[in-house]
Chain A
Amino acid sequence: MAITFKSVDFIYQAHTPFENLSLKDINLTIPDGSYTAIIGHTGSGKSTLIQHVNGLLKPTTGEVVVDDQTITGTTKNKELVHLRQHVGIVFQFPESQLFAESVIEDVKFGPINFGVTNEEAQKRAESALQKVKMPQEFWDKSPFELSGGQMRRVAIAGILATNPKILILDEPTAGLDPQGRREMMELFAELHQKEKLTILLVTHQMDDVANFADNVIVMDRGSVAKIGTPTEVFSDTEWLINHQLGLPSAANFAQKLISHGVQFKKIPLDMGELVDQIINLEGKGNRHE
């Protein structure tokens, strides 16, 4: 399912004079089946942007089109039920949404809300729990007995059980340790490849952007500052450094070599590319000698 924003403005009814979460003239298209990373500072509008995709927030002006559904400021919540079935959002620290007596019941909550039969919901819940690699012995336990990392897996299973076509992840690895983070990111990559899910990843981890995304949106003060492939976006190293957004660690290291006069064909995004280019440069040199 493709997502299109057409001249979207959003004005947040701020409680305080300090809050500024509005969106300004957003125009963009996220292709079906893509893995899109959304980066930008805290408060740049990333979270506001993603909440427009399933109509939790509605544009003040302009429209959001998801597949064949158009969301405008006047769209009724009833009309959004169909859309929400296909757009799953994993919020930050999603484990805080768990409530049911058992893991399996919690995962069934979504499908049952969308009117699926109990048997079908059970089937979907089991398959979702398998996808997040949650061992069966935990299914009947209370979600509150699990470790933080396990709770997060259950919460994600709760979204997957609604069979979304678009999966939105808002900093899904925040607070996890390195291994937990790695496993989580591998899970999403697998869902992207095997289940053909369109993925929107809100993140501060530039290495994750470099390693997984094929499309990057950079938000800055409520507007889209840049949009393109990771190579395109990260090539403008100066802009990113000036905006304190950081670079993937391989690109960051390459940037330092570049500043000493080393010439790279293109900015390396991950360790593999960095190593290959260094070897290449060395090889060339050896031939000259």
Chain B
Amino acid sequence: MNKILFGRYVPGNSFIHKMDPRAKLVLSLLYIIAVFMSNSWLAYGTSFLIAIIIIGSSSIAPKFFWDGVKPLIGVILLTMIIQVFFGVGGQVYWHWGILSITSNGLLNAIYIAIRFILIILVSTVLTLSTSPLEISGAIESLFMPLKKLHFPVYEMALMLSIALRFVPTLIDETEKILNAQRSRGANFSSGSIMTRLKKLVSILIPLFESAFSRAEELATAMEARGYQGGEGRSKYRVLNYTKNDILGTIFMIIATMSVLLLRNWS
């Protein structure tokens, strides 16, 4: 239960921690695009260097990054294998039916693995150094232009933040109901799929019931505290774009530009 990635925020005081979450979100996206467009060793080398610099300035223990990559190793390997056997072009080393191993296929497989790992590393920095609250604040701020199209940006941000706030509560609740039904002899790890599904009902119904009654009470409490929708609300947390962020942004723009320039360099 505690392996959930949500809220796996590691508090800290590093350069990256202190950056504006909007900057972090946008720059991470920029980096991911650059990595996707890379097509040469030099470009990958540069991207790798950038990732190391980012990780270094986040002061987060390497163990966390390994934890981020570990669960996805299977997917990376599978994608690599597909590339190796189905990739075409270049020198052919081995051939059987539609399967073949070619120099291009091998190269692509390695590129893909590198891409995956770089993207995981950088997005891990983002989630580890930014609290869910900051992420929802950043999304709200970035989506603000949509307000003109009558998109309910405030409401969406509040919804997101309430959802995040209730994740631990609902995990606790699930564990409690699970224990209660286990004590009544329910065994969730044996029996056919049908009987297991049936037993799942004994967890899901109480969970929904409790979620609905929580929602109702929360709505009443919000109303009592004067919530009338997003209009006219002020904000307790205001995002500030500081000198730090300008520095980070300039660095990332130069860095990703160089990756893009080097992308076909061989």
In the complex, A touching B (Cβ < 8 A): yes
Residues from chain A with a CB closer than 8 A to the CB of B185 are 81, 84-85, 110-111, 113-114, 162
Residues from chain A with a CB closer than 8 A to the CB of B189 are 77
Q: Tell me if A97 and B181 are in contact (CB < 8 A).
A: yes
Q: Roughly how many angstroms separate A96 CA and B181 CA in the complex, as a whole number?
A: 11
Q: Tell me if A109 and B179 are in contact (CB < 8 A).
A: no
Residue among A81, A91, A96, A159 making CB contact with B187, cutoff 8 Å: A81
1/0 contact string of B177-211 vs chain A (CB within 8 Å): 10111111111011000000000011111100110
Q: Tell me if B202 and A13 are in contact (CB < 8 A).
A: no
Q: Tell me if A99 and B202 are in contact (CB < 8 A).
A: yes
- The answer to whether the Cβ of B165 comes within 8 Å of any Cβ in the partner chain is no
B23: shortest Cβ distance to chain A, in Å? 28
Residue among B168, B187, B190, B206 making CB contact with A97, cutoff 8 Å: B206
Q: Tell me if B183 and A109 are in contact (CB < 8 A).
A: no
Known contacts: A15-B2, A110-B184. The answer to whether A91 contacts B205 by CB under 8 A is: no
Q: Roughly how many angstroms separate A51 CA and B182 CA in the complex, as a whole number?
A: 11
- The answer to whether the Cβ of A54 comes within 8 Å of any Cβ in the partner chain is yes
**CB under 8 Å from chain B, chain A span 27-84:** 51, 54, 56, 77-78, 81, 84
Q: Roughly how many angstroms separate A99 CA and B51 CA in the complex, as a whole number?
A: 50
- The answer to whether the Cβ of A246 comes within 8 Å of any Cβ in the partner chain is no
- A interface, by DSSP: helix, strand, loop or mixed? helix
Q: Tell me if B187 and A13 are in contact (CB < 8 A).
A: no
Residues from chain B with a CB closer than 8 A to the CB of A85 are 185
1/0 contact string of A107-126 vs chain B (CB within 8 Å): 00111011000000000000
Residues from chain A with a CB closer than 8 A to the CB of B181 are 97, 109
Residues from chain A with a CB closer than 8 A to the CB of B183 are 54, 56, 84, 87-89, 91, 159
Q: Tell me if A162 and B180 are in contact (CB < 8 A).
A: no
Residue among B180, B186, B187, B206 making CB contact with A89, cutoff 8 Å: B180
- The answer to whether the Cβ of A274 comes within 8 Å of any Cβ in the partner chain is no
Chain B residues with CB under 8 Å of chain A are: 1-2, 168, 173, 176-177, 179-187, 189-190, 201-206, 209-210
- The closest CB in chain A to the CB of B184 belongs to A110
Residues from chain B with a CB closer than 8 A to the CB of A159 are 183-184
- The answer to whether the Cβ of A98 comes within 8 Å of any Cβ in the partner chain is yes
Known contacts: A13-B2, A96-B176. The answer to whether A84 contacts B206 by CB under 8 A is: no
- The closest CB in chain A to the CB of B202 belongs to A99
- The answer to whether the Cβ of A248 comes within 8 Å of any Cβ in the partner chain is no
Chain A: interface residue total (CB-CB under 8 A): 29
A53: shortest Cβ distance to chain B, in Å? 10
Q: Roughly how many angstroms separate A158 CA and B186 CA in the complex, as a whole number?
A: 13
Q: Tell me if A84 and B182 are in contact (CB < 8 A).
A: yes
- The answer to whether the Cβ of A94 comes within 8 Å of any Cβ in the partner chain is yes
Residues from chain A with a CB closer than 8 A to the CB of B173 are 96
Q: Tell me if A99 and B176 are in contact (CB < 8 A).
A: no
Q: Tell me if B206 and A113 are in contact (CB < 8 A).
A: no
Most buried by A among B184, B186, B206: B184
Residues from chain A with a CB closer than 8 A to the CB of B1 are 15
Residues from chain A with a CB closer than 8 A to the CB of B180 are 89, 91, 94, 96-97
- The answer to whether the Cβ of A139 comes within 8 Å of any Cβ in the partner chain is no
Residues from chain B with a CB closer than 8 A to the CB of A94 are 180
Known contacts: A56-B179, A91-B179, A94-B180. The answer to whether A99 contacts B187 by CB under 8 A is: no
29 cross-chain CB contacts under 8 A: A13-B2, A15-B168, A54-B183, A56-B179, A56-B182, A56-B183, A77-B187, A77-B189, A84-B185, A85-B185, A91-B176, A96-B173, A96-B209, A96-B210, A97-B184, A97-B206, A98-B206, A99-B203, A99-B204, A99-B205, A99-B209, A100-B202, A110-B184, A110-B185, A113-B184, A113-B187, A114-B185, A159-B183, A162-B185
- The answer to whether the Cβ of A264 comes within 8 Å of any Cβ in the partner chain is no
- The closest CB in chain A to the CB of B189 belongs to A77
Q: Roughly how many angstroms separate A94 CA and B189 CA in the complex, as a whole number?
A: 23
- The answer to whether the Cβ of A144 comes within 8 Å of any Cβ in the partner chain is yes
Known contacts: A13-B2, A77-B189, A144-B209. The answer to whether A99 contacts B201 by CB under 8 A is: yes
Residues from chain A with a CB closer than 8 A to the CB of B206 are 96-99
Residue among B182, B184, B210 making CB contact with A158, cutoff 8 Å: B184
Residues from chain A with a CB closer than 8 A to the CB of B205 are 99
Residues from chain A with a CB closer than 8 A to the CB of B168 are 15
Residues from chain A with a CB closer than 8 A to the CB of B179 are 51, 56, 89, 91
Q: Roughly how many angstroms separate A78 CA and B191 CA in the complex, as a whole number?
A: 12
Q: Roughly how many angstroms separate A81 CA and B187 CA in the complex, as a whole number?
A: 9
